[in-house]
Structure 1
Amino acid sequence: MKTSKQKKLEAAGWQVGSTADFLELSKAEEMLVNMKLSLAAEVKALRIQLNLTQQDLAKRIGSSQSRVAKIEVADKTVSFDLLIRSLAALGASRSHIGKIVGTRKAVKTKTSPKKRLTRQK
């Protein structure tokens, strides 16, 4: 967000902060969310790279297409175990998975913008 826009919003009574601030996440919770989002994004990227459908991946992991859809958006019901099993089924190595988890960058998604606005009371 541009500094000028941020200043205008703050002058109008809005508070600008990160998604983690808005959700009041601890550093550990923020780290877990970012790891889960990174793993889910990589599942989708590898599946597409391999020219597989969600149904194809579902067969590989013994699940359903709807479950794969949930995996790819890091649904709250999806476990880390399932994310890692999906990556392994797509041919990801342990070191590749480690690199995904080890990245420090927050994943940017359409549903999780970097800045959130809240109206100050």
Structure 2
Amino acid sequence: MDQDKQAKLASKGWKIGTVNEFLDLTPAEATYIELRLALSENLKQRRTQLSSSQFAQLLNANPSQIEKLETGEASVSLDFLIRSLLTLGTTVKELADIMVHSQDFAGNPSV
């Protein structure tokens, strides 16, 4: 957002900040959310050759669980998300790379 727009908003009582500030997230919470989102996005990109129903059958899950996996839904366990990526052939090194790069989005220094 440009400086002029920020100044106009501030003069009218608006606060300018980040999502993390608005939600009052700790650095650990922000990093965890970014990690889940990065894993979910990667899963969505990797399963393009399978339909949702084919992928659901492969995981012994239902299509609504696949949708939740791909959107980063909080109700989906991190365990299920990682197992799903491994089922698609993701290597441990690739998982580590996803995790390292997810920190770039959270504004934290990379490992």
Q: TM-score, normalised by structure 1?
A: 0.82
What residue in structure 1 maps to residue 43 of structure 2?
43
The match for 1:77 among 75, 78, 102 is 75
**Residues 63-84 of structure 1, C-alpha deviation per residue, up to 9 Å, x if partnerless?**
0111000011111101110110
State the one-letter code of the partner of 2:81. Answer: L
SS in 1 for 2:42: helix
Q: State the 4+ residue runs in structure 1 displaced beyond 2 angstroms.
A: none
Task: Say yes or no: does 1:99 pair with 2:80.
Answer: no
Q: In proportion to residue count, which structure has more strand?
A: 1
Deviation, structure 1 residue 91: 0.8
Which residue of the partner structure matches residue 86 of structure 1?
84
Q: Distance in 2 between matches of 1:25 and 1:83?
A: 22
Q: Corresponding residue for 2:55?
A: 57
Structure (1 or 2) with the greater helix fraction: 2
What is the deviation of 1:2?
2.0
Aligned-pair identity in percent equals: 31
Can you list the C-alpha shifts for 1:1-29, whole angstroms capped at 9, x where unaligned? 22221221111110011111111010001
Give me the TM-score of the superposition, normalised by structure 2: 0.89
Q: Structure 1 unaligned runs (5+)?
A: 108-121
More RCO (CA 8 Å, sep 6+): 1
Cα distance in structure 2, aligned partners of 1:2 and 1:62: 49
AA at the equivalent of 1:19: V
Which consecutive unaligned segments of at least 5 residues does structure 2 have?
Answer: 107-111
Aligned to 2:109: none
**Quick one: distance in 1 between partners of 2:95 and 2:40?**
11
- Alignment root-mean-square deviation, CA: 1.2
